[in-house]
Amino acid sequence: MADEDVATRAPESDINIQTVENAEQSVFAGDSKAQEGASMGEHCVTDRPTPAGEIPTGEMSKLGGVDVYVSKPSNYPHSPSKFLLLLTGGTGLKSANNQLQADKYASEGFLVVMPDQFEGDTAPNSVNATLVEEHPSFIEQVKLRVAEAAKSFTIDMWLAKHTPEKVLPLLHKVIEGAKEEFADAIANGGGIYGVGYCFGAKYILILAGEHPDTVAWGQVAPKDEEEGVVKHAPVIKAGAIAHGTMVMKEDIEAVKVPMYMACVEDDPLFSAEVVQAGREALEKNGVEHEIQTYSGVPHGFAVLGDYEDRKIKESQSQAFGQMLGWIQGH
């Protein structure tokens, strides 16, 4: 750094500069660790503005002792419906946008159950990046980066509390409860359909896979999968996911039911390498699938919410149509 830079830099920035340099080693959208799928980005933990004039129409309930949001077709139970499990990103059960997303599927004839995967502990909100535009000075940008680093650490700590070992038992409780309360819808559809966004996408993939019984319940895979290891069959009959986070190629390799994946070009949270490895595994295993990559959109674009960019709005609508069409066709 030049001497004049040192002379003109504010005293408090000495610590901040070092913190920013350290922050670049943290797990955050766009950094090297994030590309390993270890964390979540801004769009996984914050909601876009809710579309004007739209109000959720479903209701809060419980299934298997777990809080759920239930959205039913207007003519249910007088007309047959199919059962859909919807898993959200980090904004969770009480997000108006997530509830409206559930309502959209319900309006197409699905009885939708959206469980609280986080037991009320939704993801911490991310930093508002627009501060860079409003306060473009060097010091303000440093402060923003420090705040991002702190938020990244907070998100990683949150993720450490919401592992498959914690989440999958909750989902199984909801599914078992649904088999009793909504047996008609499950029977009418010939099984359970699943859609997942961001955080929830990984769990739709797991529920769509064949796993050793321990893995199916979120525990560590057995070291030796010899004779006698009990295999847990897929829970859902078909699934669709959008811009998954923390997805590993092993999650996709285990999938045994028809699967649609909406991906984002150059997405550090769901890398092209993982997507390609998953594609090859699905082809090798003879699993019906479709993978569509959207360009010029951010991670999280498919979650309902208002954008000014026309391309993002159109892609969001297209992704919903593709996901809906996939589960309707299976």
Please give the Cα distance from 151 to 131 (Å, whole number).
15
Any domain includes 22: no
Number of compact structural domains in the chain = 1
Any domain includes 19: no
Any domain includes 217: yes
pTM above 0.85, yes or no: no
**198-240 pLDDT, tens per residue?**
999 999 999 999 987 655 555 555 555 555 567 788 999 999 9
Checking if the pLDDT of 115 tops 60, the result is: yes
**249-281 pLDDT, tens per residue?**
999 999 999 999 999 999 988 999 999 999 999
Which of 5-19, 173-187, 216-230, 280-294 shows the lowest mean pLDDT across its residues? 5-19
Domain span including residue 196: 27-83+91-328
Any domain includes 9: no
Any domain includes 14: no
Proportion of the chain above pLDDT 90, given as a percent: 58
Q: Which CATH number do you get for residue 50? A: 3.40.50.1820
Any domain includes 5: no
Any domain includes 3: no
Any domain includes 50: yes
